[in-house]
Chains A and B, each alone.
Chain A
Amino acid sequence: MSRPEHLKPPEEFYDEAEAKKYAKSTRMQDVQVQLAERALELLALPPNTSKLIMDIGCGTGISGLVLQKAGHTWLGLDISEHMLITGKKSGEQEGDLMRHDMGTGLGFRSGIFDGVISISALQWLCNADSSAANPVTRINRFFNSLYACMVRGGRAVFQFYPENSQQIELLTSAALRSGFTGGLLVDYPNSTKAKKYFLVLFAGTLPGQHMPKALGAEQSSDTVSFVGQRDRMRKSKGKKSDRAPVKSKEWILNKKERQRKQGKETRPDSAYTGRKRRPKF
């Protein structure tokens, strides 16, 4: 698979020709619509409500149209001027568009957005396009500012194409450090072609909120099936720990010895140390 983020920075890659592709190619549009519909589903907004949703990396606004059809109001951010202008010219979008670089942090008042979706944009953050840009600081800045502008209990769903597992780790840990909970969800994990990565984040959790289930995964993806076996293996080896059980006589003596070494006042050891008291009536 070709990786456009290796070729050029996003504002140059998504030029006029690329924007036209998105406007004309029905295949590209279909893929975008499908991903946006799945992202919207993962947002799990209550039915028959109308929310304010931010679309990060909105491009020509294909994903925004999905939000619009579901009755929501949206605001689209993208770094490419050509994509935005092409979107604006099509005249179908009711959402507002603006030019923004997610790596420099989002400038919004706090507690504004009910939800956030982003289709195929997050992987761009992992690349440094200039000597001054450090991907790690850009990622941190992005998630910190995103957390601030979301409503408590709101969700952010990012569909993205990670290049390797380090990128997933980098993005997930940065998001969790910013205060989000949640994690990675992989649809169709057993298929190379249909496999899709979603980073599902909660800005503060509401009661009853839990990670959604991935599609096409027979086993739930958050459990590792070998753990039980590994535990059994360890036990069968018969390697016992050399620590004395807690509150046993040996344990108490060890502890007193340690405290004496630390210079603390400790009662002398005797035949009665660590013995059970007689029951009192």
Chain B
Amino acid sequence: MKLLTHNILQSNVKGVKNGYPLMLKATKITILDVPVNFEFIKNIMGRIDYQVLRAVAIALGYTELPAEIPGDADTNEDFMRKLHHALQNIEVEEGELQCKESGRVFPINNGIPNMLLHENEV
């Protein structure tokens, strides 16, 4: 699971009002080398919850992201590269996601988060 996915996923367990963000615990991560796509980064920038991304990236050992999105983010290649690295290259292989409100744990195995709900949770 990439951090891009973590950034948009939220818990939809029955009764949960605010299932975002999910707490991420990673026991095994790998760093991928996905080619940078500036078009995509520009497109997605406005929809990313930057502070959530930064906090998670730091927790996983990537500290390059600045505290705030720079004003010239659209043209700042260096920043876009960093954003790309955080979003697309950090892959959580094993670990778990946890919903803060309900405490429900979603396991991540082989890089695939299991978001299936039980019958009593929908």
- Determine, out of A48-56, A213-221, A239-247, the stretch whose residues face the partner at the interface: A48-56
What residues of chain A lie closer than 8 Å to B9, measured between beta carbons?
Answer: 98, 107-109
Bound-state Cα–Cα, A51 to B49, Å:
17
CB-based contact A105/B39 at 8 Å: no
* A33 part of interface (Cβ distance < 8 Å): no
Interface size class of A (residues with CB under 8 A): 35 or more
A112 to B: closest C-beta gap in Å: 5
CA of A276 to CA of B34, assembled, Å: 80
Whole-angstrom distance between the alpha carbons of A101 and B5 in the complex? 16
Contact A71 B37 (CB under 8 A): yes
Query: CB-nearest residue of chain A relative to B121?
Result: A104
Which B residues are in CB contact (< 8 Å) with A84?
A: 112
Q: Is B39 touching A71 in the complex (CB atoms < 8 A)? A: yes
Q: Which residue of A lies closest to B38 (CB)?
A: A50
Q: Which of B1-59 contact A (CB under 8 A)?
A: 1-2, 4-5, 8-12, 19-20, 34, 37, 39-40, 43-44, 47, 49
Given A105-B122, A109-B20, is A96 in contact with B2 using a C-beta cutoff of 8 Å? yes
The CB with the most chain B CB atoms within 10 A, among A52, A94, A104, is that of A104
Stretch at the interface among A73-81, A117-125, A267-275: A73-81
Tell me the smallest distance from the CB of A108 to a CB of chain B, in Å: 5
Query: Chain A residue with minimal CB distance to B10?
Result: A107
| B110 CB contact (under 8 Å) in A85, A96, A107, A149 | A85
Contact code string A32-73 (vs B, CB < 8 Å = 1, else 0): 000000000000000011111000000000000000000111
Shortest Cβ distance from B13 into A: residue: A107
Bin the interface of chain B by size: 20 to 34
User: Given that A88-B110, A105-B12, A111-B47 are contacting pairs, would A96 and B117 also be in contact in the complex, using a CB cutoff of 8 Å?
Assistant: no
Determine if B8 and A108 form an interchain contact, defined as CB atoms under 8 angstroms apart. Answer: yes
A149–B7 alpha-carbon span in the complex (Å): 13
B116 contact from A72, A97, A100, A132, Cβ within 8 A = A100
- Judge whether B75 is part of the interface by a CB distance below 8 angstroms: no
Contacts of A166 in B (CB 8 A): none
Q: Specify the chain B residue showing the minimal Cβ separation from A112.
A: B8
CA distance A85 to B112 in the complex (A): 8
Residues of chain A with a CB closer than 8 A to B37's CB: 50, 71, 73
Closest B residue to A52 using CB positions: B44
- Tell me if B114 counts as interface (CB < 8 A to partner A): yes
Contact partners of B122 in chain A: CB under 8 A: 104-105, 141
Of A49, A107, A112, the contact of B11 (CB 8 Å cutoff): A107
State which residues 52-98 of B face A: CB under 8 Å. 88
Residue of A nearest to B6 (CB): A96
Interface residues of A in 207-260 (CB under 8 A from B): none
B49 — which chain A residues lie within 8 A by C-beta?
109
Chain B residues, Cβ within 8 Å of A79: 116
Chain B residue nearest in CB terms to A54 = B8
Report if B105 contacts A (CB, 8 A).
no
- 6 A-B pairs with CB atoms under 8 Å apart are A50-B39, A96-B1, A97-B111, A98-B9, A98-B112, A99-B114
Residues of A within 8 A of B (CB): 48-52, 71-73, 75, 79, 81, 84-85, 88, 94, 96-101, 104-109, 111-112, 114, 130, 132-133, 141, 145, 149
